[in-house]
Amino acid sequence: MPISLKDRLLTGLNKDWLNRQKAFGTKAAVDYLSGLAKTAAELRNIQSADIRTIVDMEILTLEHEKELYGGEDPTVIPSLQAAIDSLTKDVKRAINTAEVPEDYRKAALTHSSKRQYHGIPIDGCHEAINSHITRLDNRIRTVGVSVPEKNSLVARKENMKQAKQIYITMQQQALRII
């Protein structure tokens, strides 16, 4: 009797899982996972930095991913480039504007009063950071991502949340809300 498609698929999936488990037991895999733990710790340290450093380190990480992963899978390049562009242009431009209160107050007048958070405009910086947090969340939830890889992604996500909080404080100061 021929083996059914279902049985062939399950057999293949089981073999793949066993091979994955074997691969994670190798010295190279142990070194890789240990390195990821160290990188996650470095990423967590960035959280205490200023907003420019947080954003610059995330851009650096994205550029590195684009270089490495883009070589293996060119389909990831547009998404990574969009994230880089958004952080480089929208976030940095907003930070530059918020640093000059008079300029920021003028710019804030151009934003819809319907798109506000506690009296501050939800501008391109908020949208860019929120989009990037969503992108990181999607990667965290991806099947097959190891716990150490997830820890690095979670640290990056927390860094972006911290950058957003710092930016909100900058907005509040520029608008004299605090």
* Structural domain spans, the chain: 5-174
Whether residue 159 contacts residue 57, with contact meaning beta carbons closer than 8 Å, is answered with yes
Does residue 83 contact residue 63 with C-beta atoms inside 8 Å?
Answer: no
| pLDDT the model gives residue 76 | 93
Cα distance between residue 61 and residue 139, in whole Å: 14
Q: Is the pLDDT of residue 169 over 90?
A: yes
* Mean predicted confidence (pLDDT) in 22-49: 89
Provide the H-helix boundaries in 25-146.
27-46, 51-72, 77-85, 92-98, 101-108, 124-140
Q: In this structure, what token pair is assigned to residue 81?
A: 């480039």
Which tokens belong to 62? 């994205």
pLDDT, tens digit, 9 for 90 and up, residues 120-154: 889 999 999 999 999 999 999 999 888 989 999 99
Closest CA to 120 of 173, 55, 158: 173
- What is the pTM assigned to this prediction? 0.86
Cβ–Cβ < 8 Å for 76, 69: yes
Banded model confidence at residue 4, pLDDT cuts 50, 70, 90: confident
